[in-house]
Chain A
Amino acid sequence: MGMTMAEKIIAAAAGVKEVKAGDIHTVELDRLMSNDGTTHLTIDMYNQLKEPRIADVNKLVWIMDHNVPCDSVKTAASHKKMRDFAKEHSIRFYEGAGVCHQVMMENHVTSGELIFGADSHTCAYGAVGAFGTGVGCTDYLYAMVTGKSWLLVPETLRFHLKGKLSDGVYARDLILSIIGMIGANGANYMAMEFGGEGLKTLNMSDRIAVCNLCVEAGAKTALMEVDDITLSYLKAHGREPKHCFASDDDAVYAHVYEIDLSTIKPIVAKPHFVDSVVDAKECVGTHIDEAFLGSCNNGRIEDLRVGAELIQGRKVHPLVRFLVVPASAEVYRQALSEGIIDTFMEAGAIVMNPNCSVCWGSCQGVIGENDVLISTGTRNFKGRAGHKDSFVYLASAATVTASAIKGEIATADMI
């Protein structure tokens, strides 16, 4: 019987020839990412163990991104704990380099790996055909100490892409449309696999945006077929693939969806659920107080270019705070060299250092009671970006920037 990509990666990590959905296997992890959201908790638990040890320190990557630079005395204490532990144990450590998943994509992840990240959006790594999955700090600790964990082999939903996104429509609109179609738990416990001719029209930034958001449909992981685009991305970043797995023709899928990319339109996810999606046109005219362009989902150079092109020669609406937060230092420097940062500042945007920002309701830019935010972030849950009685709309970089200019939700074609 044929296997899916997810099954092949788990089989390799479990050291067996064949696995099938529903089996439980003990697997060897290739990489373990943790950030300042929960690493202090992992360290506390580690220190409670009798004779604790790290199975293979070379697998660990620790990244500060959730509260960078530190914003309170309490956070400073948990940061110090993480920084000191990383130093003491010679753990690969980043601070100020960017949002964890972007830093991982730029520096570490490669095709065919099995990666645990103590962050739900770890499924982003599927963009290069790696099995990334989010875990809590206890699962992380277990993997850190033993090098292993157990995994239930997921069923796979296959998304067969054809055609090409229309001008003014982005990968972000695609994945929000898919989440709207299958629902916030439509892929619960499952892998979401993407392939087909249409995939070749999506660049690496698009692919990361799609995979990153799959957890909002409940997915355990997301996986994209490895192709020339993947291999040239890896090469440009000095890495080789570990395995280039593709699903077999007779692989068993829970369901196969055919998606014609040319039918996708600009989308907005309304408060307070990511699957609460509508045609962006239905939200036009909705009042906003703040706009956010950034996050591991949509803060790459490609996204900043979209925003900069729209706002060039225009101004941010006087009643709107427009936050621009590059996803990594690499992205920030590229944006500087292209004059993009200057364009945003000239327009009156607030450009900030790479971090998770208001996407998770911390760092700076938190919104107050009754405030409305339009965001390229990952979630729009009630209270996610600040006050419990505030509202978050999710949209593409183009829709967010257009809205920042208009002072109300607007699509790029209205600018």
Chain B
Amino acid sequence: MENFSGKIWVLGDDIDTDIIIPTEYLALKTVNDMAPYAFSPLRPELAAQIKEGDILVAGKNFGCGSSREQAPEIIKALGVKAVIAKSFARIFFRNAINNGLLLIENDKLRDAVSEGDEITVTINETIEHKGIKYPITSLPQNLVEILEAGGLVKAMQKRNR
């Protein structure tokens, strides 16, 4: 995985899966059809504003609620490079990794940043914001392999080859 920089969007605590994608849009055919409605109960304008390579920064318990895997898929479909949160709900954590969406836990960054700021992520080392470096833990190698393949199914196909 390569290091990256990007513009951030800032969200609060307990961003649940019904906020990430409300039930009424789950019947749409593809995640790309659903993506414009991401976060709509909270910030209906947000999905249209997110650009390829942007980063989400949130509070605690991001992704709590349902096991709907469309939630991380849609965040990825919006072009989000990574989600950085104080903590992640466990089903969402597995689903995100399984879909190749990078998650980083950090409990300090959220309260130090403002929306629109730029941050730089050095994989397995730090997040840098306005000259301050926040240490991050490294991901286990098996999860890195899944992320690099673009998700668990792709990793399985790669292994089978």
Contacts and interface: CB of A to CB of B under 8 A. Distances in A.
Interface of A: 24, 37-38, 41, 45, 48-50, 72, 74-75, 78, 118-120, 134-139, 141-142, 145, 150, 184-185, 188-189, 215, 218, 220, 273, 360-362, 366, 379, 381-384, 386, 388
B95 A388 contact: no
A188 B90 contact: yes
Q: Is the interface of A mostly helix, strand, loop or mixed?
A: loop
A188 B27 contact: no
B64 A185 contact: yes
Nearest to B28: A74
A185 B23 contact: no
A218 B19 contact: no
B106 interface: no
B129 interface: no
A37 B89 contact: no
Contacts of B19: 381-383
Interface stretch (B2-10, B65-73, B76-84, B110-118): B65-73
B61 A49 contact: no
A331 B132 CA distance: 59
A41 B69 contact: yes
A198 to B, nearest CB: 28
A297 to B, nearest CB: 14
Residue among A49, A366, A384 with the highest chain B CB neighbour number at 10 A: A384
Contacts of A120: 65-67, 91
Nearest to B69: A136
Given A142-B152, A381-B19, A136 B61 contact: no
Interface string B21-43: 01110111100000000001110
A136 B95 contact: yes
Contacts, number: 117
Most B C-beta atoms less than 10 A away, residue of A118, A138, A218: A138
Nearest to A73: B27
Contact of A136 (B41, B60, B98, B157): B98
Chain B interface bracket (under 10, 10 to 19, 20 to 34, 35 or more) = 35 or more
A302 to B, nearest CB: 26
A185 B69 contact: no
- Most B-side CB within 10 Å, residue of A137, A189, A273: A137
Contacts of B64: 184-185, 218
A141 B154 CA distance: 12
A135 B40 CA distance: 24
Contacts of B95: 135-136, 138-139
Contacts of A49: 153, 156-157
Given A74-B28, A138-B151, A361-B24, 18 more contacts: A45-B153, A48-B153, A72-B27, A75-B27, A136-B72, A138-B69, A138-B99, A138-B152, A138-B153, A139-B152, A141-B153, A184-B61, A185-B14, A361-B22, A381-B65, A382-B18, A382-B19, A383-B22
